[in-house]
A and B are shown apart, each in its own frame.
Chain A
Amino acid sequence: SQQGEEDPQALSIQEGENATMNCSYKTSINNLQWYRQNSGRGLVHLILIRSNEREKHSGRLRVTLDTSKKSSSLLITASRAADTASYFCATALNTGGFKTIFGAGTRLFVKA
């Protein structure tokens, strides 16, 4: 079963609005990552938050992590049409090793 599950599956907003996507996971993690995928392209790493961090910022991105609830959120502020893409959370497990487990993604559509 999926380690990470994103919510909502799809999100449609107007340009300038904020977009919030959530991710839940099941097992203990070392870190959690968010990726972006434009249609038909490879994924691009956006931001990583370690298990001992609660919040992290990068430009218009804000990521929070609540390890007690096993959940994370990605906030994109002042969205732009160019932010239209699928966003995936991924977890690096605390058991070590080399695997990163991806969720099913949230499809974000930003209307101009």
Chain B
Amino acid sequence: SQTIHQWPATLVQPVGSPLSLECTVEGTSNPNLYWYRQAAGRGLQLLFYSVGIGQISSEVPQNLSASRPQDRQFILSSKKLLLSDSGFYLCANRGVGGHNEQFFGPGTRLTVL
């Protein structure tokens, strides 16, 4: 079975600092990977998805970028964090059943001060 790892689990960063969040997947190959952001007490906002190495689709214009340097690695980055970037960031993999069900990692809690 597949496992999704996210690093770090929590992060406190000052405004204007850079960001790098990592997501790695075990137990599957050629995954479709997703980055979501969840504001406190809210639903999930899809940020990026990737169907393969170097292939990134952006869903909303914002201060963030994503990269897929390896098949099972998905990275979320920012050059300069904003206060509004605070939130719970979730990485997910699309299930193999073809129904777009999502399997989530444990998440990274980001607080920008």
Interface residues, chain A, with chain B CB atoms under 8 Å away: 2, 4, 30-31, 33, 35, 40-45, 48, 50, 88, 90, 92, 98-105, 107
Contacts and interface: CB of A to CB of B under 8 A. Distances in A.
A102 B44 contact: yes
B41 to A, nearest CB: 8
A43 B90 contact: yes
Contacts of A2: 43
Contact of A48 (B36, B42, B99, B106): B99
Nearest to B46: A99
B32 A42 contact: no
Q: Is the interface of A mostly helix, strand, loop or mixed?
A: strand
8 contacts: A31-B99, A41-B107, A43-B102, A92-B100, A99-B59, A100-B100, A102-B46, A105-B43
Interface of B: 4, 32, 36, 41-44, 46, 49, 51, 59, 88, 90, 92, 94-95, 99-107, 109
B43 A43 contact: no
Contacts of B105: 42
Given A42-B104, A45-B101, A98 B90 contact: no
Given A42-B90, A88-B43, A105-B43, A98 B100 contact: yes
Contacts of B101: 33, 45, 48, 92, 100
A45 B42 contact: no
A50 B101 CA distance: 12
B59 to A, nearest CB: 8
A31 B99 CA distance: 7
Given A88-B44, A104-B43, 10 more contacts: A4-B43, A33-B99, A40-B107, A41-B106, A42-B105, A43-B102, A98-B49, A99-B46, A99-B49, A102-B46
A44 B101 CA distance: 10
A105 B88 CA distance: 15
